[in-house]
Chains A and B, each alone.
Chain A
Amino acid sequence: MLSVGQRLWRLRGPLTSLTSGHTPWTVTGWPLVLAAGKKHQIDLPLVHEEELEEQFVRGSGPGGQATNKTSNCVVLKHIPTGIVVKCHETRSVDLNRRRAREILREKLDIFKGEESELLKMRRESIQRKQDKRRKVNENMEKKRRFKERLCSEEEEKH
């Protein structure tokens, strides 16, 4: 597994190049294409290259001109969450890397969404438990006082 930060594969925030009036660029010279109906890549959580581990199923061999292999599968792992994305949708390694990152950002978005849902549920559950405990305590208190009253009434009789 290679740490992506080891190479000069820089992630440029898409917003920085939108101001020039030209086609906006993202990583490694790809124009930013906003697909209608899909959540825009801009809105998805940003991924930092230092948090990624990338692996290429290219087999052993010297690489470059000395190798002719057609395997171009990209395996991308997001270290903080442990999410792993595998992509071999296209015949281009570069495109697969880009797609893997898009898929990862989509998954992170869902993950974050689930996170906040989970937190909400957890908070509600805690609140319910607290209410329940208070009720139980109140009832116990009532029973205790009733018992005390009974005891004192008994004593008065004798």
Chain B
Amino acid sequence: MMFKTIWFRLMHRYSGVSKQRSVVRLSSSAAEGAVAPPADCSVTAEQAVRLWARHFTLHGISEPLLSSQYIISHVLGEKTLERVSRKRLRDTLTDREIERVWKLCSKRLTRMPVQYVIEEWDFRDLTLKMKRPVFIPRPETEELVSLVLEDLQLIQGESHRTDLRGLEVGCGSGAISLSLLRSIPQLRVFALDQSQTAVCLTTENANRLGLQDRLDVHHLDVIKDADAILSKCDLVDFIVSNPPYLLSQDMKTLQTEIFRFEDHAALDGGLDGLSVIRSILGLGSKLLKKRGRIYLEVAPCHPPVIQQLIEDMMPGLLYLETHCDLTNRPRFCILQKKGEND
């Protein structure tokens, strides 16, 4: 194996600490731009953050400073750099820490999303394990959970029911189901995903959070296994989903982090982005209790199309409302199964 050796004064140039010099070696067998940890020089956490931020910038990695901060805080046992004490930031990193930082940051150089690099991320008040290529929960989806919770709280407030049941289609890492279960002790959820890896990850996260007793996770495809779902799943009070909703034509313009590392099946919703959504709506007609609701995260172009769709093809469903996300894009659709007199 050929090694290309490049020596340069990395520390001196970047951190402004004139006395320290660091020599690094680039090996062509590693990821482009990968660097070996400095062998004989001390580096503080602060310096490492700056160093790697510069390095990421040089290599066109998006969010260079944030990436550096998240990875290094994680190595130091914290979630954000803010939570690392000033003293700790100024302490030199141990050899083990340096090795870990360098290893993880090198992964980021391959454009791996930070969430996969550190193998964890937060969703509302939960910390979840992340594992490629299982879809990484998006911040918008936190608001989807809020919408569901508001309604469930109302039901709870009025009826004090202890037998609330929900269905999640496409659970991924389990973010939505587990958030709901954590907030509502009386809730039980039936979750499914067409990916076995996702099913395993959701199960693992449920166990970590002690919520496994109220969650049933199944390896099922909402389009192909509709009959199996109907036979296994009882009537539910609500269905929630962040289904693949991107249009096939938009898949190729995705940022590298997503295109290279996340499961395309969790993103691609077909020609009009509605292939999975259609199946969910069909399921809703059959699995929802009267006045049960469907909560969907969708693409901004979808709400009027979905509204038209159910008017034309699903008379048992009522379109309730469209809700915008924090960037003011139409993002969430709430539908309801009609009752007897609706």
Q: Which of A's residues lie within 8 Å of B, judged by CB?
A: 2, 6-8, 10, 17, 20, 22, 25, 28-31, 54, 56, 58, 61-72, 88-95
Are A64 and B297 CB-contacts (below 8 A) given A90-B122, A92-B122, A92-B123? yes
A25, B325: Cα distance in complex, Å = 22
CB contact list, B313-342 vs A, under 8 A:
323-329, 331
CB of B228 within 8 Å of the partner chain: no
Q: Please tell me which one of the listed residues A7, A20, A31, A88 contacts residue B80 in the complex, with CB atoms under 8 A apart.
A: A88
Kindly list chain A residues whose C-beta atoms are within 8 Å of the C-beta of B152. 29
| A64 in contact with B299 given A56-B326, A56-B327, A92-B125 (CB within 8 Å) | yes
Pairwise interchain contact A17-B79, C-beta atoms closer than 8 A: no
**Additional A-B contacts beyond A20-B157, A65-B135, A94-B124 (8; CB < 8 A):** A28-B149, A29-B145, A64-B331, A65-B266, A69-B62, A70-B70, A91-B121, A94-B143
Measured between beta carbons, the chain A residues less than 8 angstroms from B63 are 69-71
Chain B residues contacting A30 (CB-CB under 8 Å) are 125
Instruction: Give B208 Cβ to nearest chain A Cβ, in Å.
Output: 17
From B29-37, B49-57, B251-259, the one touching the partner chain is B251-259
Q: Which residues of A contact B121 (CB under 8 A)?
A: 91
The 5 closest A-B pairs by CB, nearest first: A29-B149, A28-B146, A91-B122, A93-B139, A94-B142
Question: Does the CB pair B124–A95 fall under 8 Å?
Answer: yes
Interface centre among B153, B156, B326 (most CB of A within 10 A): B326
Give A57 to B157 CA distance when docked, in angstroms.
36
Instruction: Decide if B267 is an interface residue (CB 8 Å cutoff).
Output: yes
On whether the beta carbons of A70 and B67 are closer than 8 Å, the reply is: yes
